[in-house]
Structure 1
Amino acid sequence: MKYLCFAIISALNVHLIYGTDECGISHYKRPNSNIAGGREARKGEFPWMISVQVRNLGDPGHQHYCGASVINRKWILTATHCLRGIDAKDLQIVAGAHDIKSWTDHMSRHTVEHMVLHPDFDDKTGLNDIALIKVKQEFLFEEKSQWLVNSVCLPKEGYSPRESLGTAVGWGRKSDKGALSKILKTVDLPILKQDDCRRLVGYDFLKDQEFCAGGQHDKDTCTGDSGGPVTQIIENRAVLVGITSAGLGGVPCGSAGWPAIYTDVSKYIHWINEHID
């Protein structure tokens, strides 16, 4: 299995979200059109986007490893496969980033207080690929961060994001052999019906706690996007409906007819609340 990372946005029904008073609000509006294969995100367009960075072995500093999403002032949501075998002291959480190679005053570094990996994560199938990180230093929202940091809303338990359009976000590679992007990128992806996806990836492979999106040539998430958000717009707010989990082993990123797999956040709302309340 090939693990990845990302985020998603579209129009849905009402009364299906919860979170902080300001959750899911971006003060930097999206342009009306996308270029083929995606585009650079605007600075501050996705203020819940986090760069999870790992200390370089034998070298000072950290490098981007996975994405994550701010869900309140102390907690972020990511993928379990991003954190397995990694010591919390070797992680750096960066908020407010756009160009991850260029530090600005509006970016903030956070250390990890506590990690919660899903206990039933299956390394072979990728099932239950969801994890929480609690940071020691609170995230600053609204004016204090120049609106470059904010939380994303969560869906109500049981909400289905399928048969909608989504927007993937991350600093991942453009292709399997390409370098990580230093600028945050975004791309719109269709979220498939469950049965349609199972016909492509296998009926025994895709579980109810997952969904797939993409399958269009050159539009995909890739290595370095894992753990990032999949959002949809509900009542003019971005709602975290999925977490970038995995691509299909042996299939290059952006291959037509081959979608990637995402964790369905609505299936884990009870688990999330158990740990952040």
Structure 2
Amino acid sequence: MKVFLTILALAVASAAAAPKASIAYPKDLAKTNKIEGRITNGYPAEEGKAPYTVGLGFSAGWWCGGSIIDHTWVLTAEHCIGDAESVTVYFGATWRTNAQFTHWVGNGDFIKNPSADIALIRIPHIDFYHMVNKVELPSYNDRYNDYNEWWAVACGWGGTYDGSPLPDYMQCVDLQIIHNSECADYYGHELIGDNRICVRVVDGKGTCGGDSGGPLVTHDGSKLVGVTNFVASAGCQIGAPAGFQRVTYHLDWIRDHTGIAYY
């Protein structure tokens, strides 16, 4: 299993262009002996706080998050899927594995994006109610919105600091989106392209191991703007930004595979 994402092109770049920090996939950070997901220094989510958030227990043994975007689709990160043969999707869980219901999905219903760390999972049709519901995607009118300084919320399951015991109760954390140039100061412009969106990590608040694929949803309008991708390899709480796939960048790809679009 990959632990760190290595950008080979950086090896031939000039020293001045080298990133200041390396990155890690949250799902690949050091794990305890049980399935896990983490939000660092967040707060417990009340029941129904994020009904669009699902837990993804992959057959290969790792745990990720995802977002319900339609009756038959979940959006997650491509690196979560990896070479897994199947996934169990946990719907409407506040206590991680005490879901309202689950569905098993085979890899024939996985759709990977060949050029970015984002993926779709086709699920059996589900009905929506207060505990299980979709999150809306941004509209095409927002495709050039950089969301700089907007506040958003990320939710998942797990510990409250690096290396902590991992609670099973869903945690959420409020995070402020930053301009890509601020994120690139840490990781380099080669990595932080138009497909990325980043948040500040202040007072150790952010995403961490197992949160890969989970949602970043704006406070204003409750739109899904990010899919959890990476954190600093030196630790989730060191103050380096956390990175996501920028959903507005992928609206055409999502529409082409699901038919979902907001104009």
So what's the TM-score if we normalise by structure 2?
A: 0.78
Distance 1:56 1:245 in 2: 19
Indicate whether 1:240 and 2:197 are aligned.
Answer: no
Q: Does structure 1 retain, via aligned residues, the 8 Å contact 2:41–2:161?
A: no
Which is helix-richer, 1 or 2? 2
**In structure 2, what residue type is equivalent to 1:194?**
N
2:214 corresponds to 1:228: yes
Q: Does 1:95 align with 2:91?
A: yes
1:79 matches 2:77? yes
Q: CA RMSD in A?
A: 1.9
Cα drift, residue 224 of structure 1: 0.9
Structure 1 match to 2:197 = 211
Query: Which residue matches 1:23?
Result: none
Aligned to 1:54: 58
Equivalent-residue separation in structure 1 for 2:164 and 2:64 (angstroms): 16
- Deviation, 1:218, is 1.6
Q: Structure with the greater relative contact order (CA < 8 A, sep ≥ 6): 1 or 2? A: 1
Distance 1:56 1:269, change over 3 A: closer
2:169 maps to a residue whose letter is I
Task: Provide the residue aligned with 1:111 in structure 2.
Answer: 104
Count of matched residue positions in the alignment of Structure 1 and Structure 2: 220
Asked if the contact 2:136/2:224 (under 8 Å) is kept, the reply is: yes
Q: By how many angstroms is 1:52 displaced?
A: 0.3
CA distance in structure 2 between the aligned counterparts of 1:97 and 1:192, rounded to whole angstroms: 30
Name the CA distance, whole Å, in 2 between partners of 1:266 and 1:96. Answer: 26
Counterpart selection for 1:275 from 224, 239, 257: 257
**5+ long unaligned stretches in structure 2:** 5-23, 28-39
Residue 3 of structure 1 corresponds to: 25
- Which amino acid in the other structure matches residue 74 of structure 2? I
Question: Residue 22 of structure 1 corresponds to which residue in structure 2?
Answer: none
CA deviation string 1:5-49 (max 9, x = no partner): 7xxxxxxxxxxxxxxxxxxxxxxxxxxxxxx92210111010000
Mapping for residues 119-138 of structure 1, pairs under 5 Å: 119-120=114-115, 128-135=116-123, 137-138=124-125
CA distance in 2 between partners of 1:95 and 1:175 (Å): 25
Give how far 1:270 is off: 0.4
Contact 1:66 1:82 in 2 (8 A): yes
State the shift of 1:108 in Å.
Answer: 1.0
Distance in 2 (CA, whole Å) between partners of 1:178 and 1:66 is 18
Q: Contact 1:75 / 1:134 at 8 angstroms: preserved in 2?
A: yes
Q: 2:181 is matched with which residue?
A: 195
One-letter code of the match for 1:108? F
Question: How far, CA to CA, are the matches of 1:212 and 1:116 in structure 2?
Answer: 24
Divergent runs of 4+, >4 A: none
| Separation of aligned partners in 1, 2:105 and 2:244 | 24
Cα deviation for residue 176 of structure 1 reads 3.8
Partner SS state of residue 221, structure 1: strand
Q: Which secondary structure state, in structure 2, belongs to the residue aligned with residue 67 of structure 1?
A: strand
**Deviation sequence 1:141-175 (CA, Å, 0-9, x none):** 12xxxx10000000124132222112121114433
Return the offset for 1:193: 1.3
Alignment of 1:152 onto 2:135 = yes
**Match of residue 17 from structure 1:** none
Partner of 2:34: none
Going from structure 1 to structure 2, the CA distance change for 1:180 and 1:66 (only over 3 Å counts) comes to farther
- 1:92 and 1:110 in contact (8 A); partners too: yes
Task: Provide the C-alpha distance between the structure 1 equivalents of 2:201 and 2:68, rounded to a whole number of angstroms.
Answer: 27
8 Å CA contact 1:170–1:184 kept in 2: the answer is yes
